[in-house]
Amino acid sequence: MSETGSLRHGGTDVARTPLVSLVVPCFNEEEVLPLFLAELRPILGSVPGIRFEFVFVNDGSTDGTLPLLAAEARLDPAVRVIDLSRNFGKEAALSAGLAEARGDAVIPFDADLQDPPDLIPLLTERWREGFEVVIARRVDRSSDGFLKRETANAFYRLHGRLTDIDLPENAGDFRLMDRRVVDALNAMPESCRFMKGLFAWAGFRTTSVDYTRRPRAAGRSKFSGWKLWNFALEGITSFSTLPLRIWTYAGFLVAAGALLYAAAIAVRTLILGVDVPGYASLAVLILLFGGLQMMGMGMIGEYVGRIYMESKRRPLYFVRARYGGDQPPEPR
Ligand code: UDP
Ligand code: MG
């Protein structure tokens, strides 16, 4: 273990042991949490020279998740629980966890053990080498179904084309972030939060390590196809205005086509005289351009809706209660 790590994170106080927070959003995870703790504790205990804390965010679970977590928090001072007032969704839960975490570095970690906890020592090692972001990249998604894999690939390609930020392919939320990065994220004011995009947008000195994603240890995925579609829309609209601007060019193209068509009709009428036009071509054109216009309006609507949501300046979530930890931080 190099001393540069503790020097960097503790200033001149070399003796101070760095603290790493594991932020775990939980929505109805009572089945998997005992497994989760049993698997993580020995791994975290085996990392020399680093203290760990768990920051569980209970995202409005309706099962026994909260009592289970609260009991853990009573027994173990390294466990803190942030109980949100309802289900706000994973992105908000993660934001809550990042705001409440006190570590010198933070690792968002899913409760379902799909990401291998044995990678955590490696992440902290790279962090001590001086990297501010250590991304855990899935090299193999065979635990996801064919459809989820293919749609995910298509999304990353499209996102890369449409936006300026480089979303690291196949990287989830599982990564280590230095305190500086977490502070930067906490300072981002938007309420439409596509965390992966915000992570990438923040920048900082970044490296990655590869791993294989496992199937869920227990319980079911909380993300349906429709939820993922909306998630993808959020990802694109949060970082690109291209879908809005494209309609200017579509309009130009259509107008130019219409002028050409008008000229063609005029010429044909001069040469062949007036014929009785069919209604089919008219009907097709009306439907086509009606459809195009609605798509354009819909796209604008996606953005206007988001402007509306942002303009309300509502908090991202409400905390009902906190469990564990000695001095709870100020509510935000
Ligand atoms: N999660 C959450 N709030 C939600 C949905 C999910 O906090 O509204 C948590 C969930 O408990 C898990 C993590 O987010 O710890 C990832 O969820 P899941 O495994 O269902 O997603 P997938 O891996 O299928 O994308
Ligand atoms: Mg999962």
- Average pLDDT over all residues of the chain: 82
Decide which of 266 and 9 is more confident. Answer: 266
| Ligand 1 pocket residues where CB is under 6 Å | 25-27, 29, 59, 87, 89-90, 93, 110-112, 114, 221-223
> What is the b/e burial string over 258-280, where b = at least 16 CB atoms within 10 angstroms of the residue's CB?
eeeeeeeeeeeeeeeeeeeeeee
Say if CB 28 and CB 65 are below 8 A apart. yes
pLDDT at 142: 67
More confident: 331 or 306:
306
pLDDT, tens digit, for every residue of 12-71?
A: 454 588 999 999 999 998 888 898 999 889 988 888 888 999 999 999 899 889 999 998
Q: Which of 289, 269, 137 is nearest to 206 (CA)?
A: 137
Proximal ligand: closest to the CA of 108: 1
Distance 25 CA to ligand 1 centre (A): 7
Residue with the nearest Cα to atom 25 of ligand 1? Answer: 223
Q: Give the Å distance between the CA of 195 and the centre of ligand 1.
A: 13
Residue nearest to atom 3 of ligand 1 (CA): 90
The atom of ligand 1 lying closest to the CA of 220 is 20
CA nearest to 119, candidates 78, 108, 130: 108
Judged against a pLDDT cut of 50, whether residue 4 lies above it is answered with: no
C-alpha span between 293 and 288 (Å, rounded): 9
**Res 275 pLDDT > 90:** no
Kindly indicate the confidence band of residue 277, based on its pLDDT and cuts at 50, 70 and 90.
low
Span 191-235, pLDDT tens digits: 777 877 788 888 888 888 888 766 666 667 766 778 888 888 888
* Ligand lying closest to the C-alpha of residue 173: 1
pLDDT of residue 3: 41
What number does the ligand 1 atom closest to the CA of 110 have?
15
pTM of the model: 0.72
Average pLDDT of the residues in 71-97: 90
Per-residue pLDDT reduced to its tens digit, 112-159: 888 888 889 989 999 999 899 998 887 766 666 777 778 888 888 888
